């Protein structure tokens, strides 16, 4: 479906981003990976995706907290892959603290990576998309882009901002063959979350399964994690012709979290 298209997925060396990158590659889309991690593991991932799906898979270590590096990421993807038809802004970080105790540098870092990076990447990618009269922009927001939780001032602010940015870009590009939508996941079972659950189970003397249920039940009516693969499937749908008139939307995939 996406043969001869090319995508950038930020924060795609693991977790949700890797799930999206894999789903796009499975549709014969060339992909530029981005993120931090062990260089050998990243190269194995890059090579494995390329060989399995027969597509070009590049990698950039661009730091998306820095606008100049974001612009260089888009330029390198255009050179290596021929175009940037799909942009997935997924990179994100978190910090938890009450507002009065929230460190200034953590606020700045969360806003830079979770929100400002998406703006700079969209700004850099849009001219090429407009020339080709085709583009798909997907911003990975969160259930916290639609509702709030305490002690997450920067994260909630950044994700609400992402939803607003998505609406503006969707409106501005509505007649350019481009769509811009936000995916709003609830709890996602990534390797990092799994480790946190196992640590909590050990600390409290309960089973891992019970720790999972406890975590989910704090927010979600559905006691089931979303997977990176499911989010990847939603991203593929948003890139398809079936979603050609969907733009400016914030789509929950959150087990009913925001339905309450």
Tokens found for residue 44: 């194995």
Strand partners, 135: 178
Contacts of 224 (CB under 8 A, 6+ apart): 216, 255
Q: Which are the catalytic amino acids?
A: 155
Residue 235 CA to its chain's centroid (Å):
10
Could you give the CA distance from residue 248 to residue 141 in angstroms, rounded to a whole number?
13
In sign, the C-alpha dihedral spanning 246, 4, 228, 163 is negative
- How far is residue 107 from each of residues 29, 90, 98, 102, 142, measured CA to CA in Å? 35, 18, 12, 7, 17
């Amino acid at each position: 479906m996406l043969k001869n298209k090319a995508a950038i997925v930020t924060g795609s060396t693991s977790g949700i981003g890797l799930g999206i990158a894999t789903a796009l590659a499975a549709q014969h889309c060339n992909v530029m990976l981005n993120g931090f991690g062990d260089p050998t593991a990243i190269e194995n991932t890059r090579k494995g995706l390329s060989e399995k799906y027969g597509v070009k898979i590049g990698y950039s270590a661009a730091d998306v907290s820095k606008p100049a590096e974001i612009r260089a990421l888009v330029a390198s993807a255009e050179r290596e892959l021929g175009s940037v038809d799909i942009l997935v802004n997924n990179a994100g970080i978190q910090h938890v603290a009450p507002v009065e105790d929230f460190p200034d540098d953590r606020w700045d870092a969360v806003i830079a990576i979770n929100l400002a990076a998406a703006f700079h990447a969209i700004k850099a990618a849009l001219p090429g998309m407009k020339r080709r009269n085709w583009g798909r922009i997907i911003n990975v927001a969160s259930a916290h882009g639609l509702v709030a939780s305490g002690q997450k001032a920067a994260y909630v602010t950044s994700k609400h901002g992402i939803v607003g940015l998505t609406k503006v870009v969707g409106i501005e590009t509505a007649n350019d063959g481009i769509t811009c939508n936000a995916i709003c996941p609830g709890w996602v079972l990534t390797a990092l979350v799994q480790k946190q659950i196992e640590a909590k189970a050990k600390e409290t003397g309960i089973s891992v399964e019970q720790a999972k249920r406890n975590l989910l039940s704090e927010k979600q009516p559905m006691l089931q994690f979303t997977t990176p693969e499911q989010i990847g499937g939603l991203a593929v749908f948003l890139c398809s012709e079936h979603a050609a008139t969907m733009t400016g939307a914030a789509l929950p995939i959150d087990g009913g979290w925001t339905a309450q």
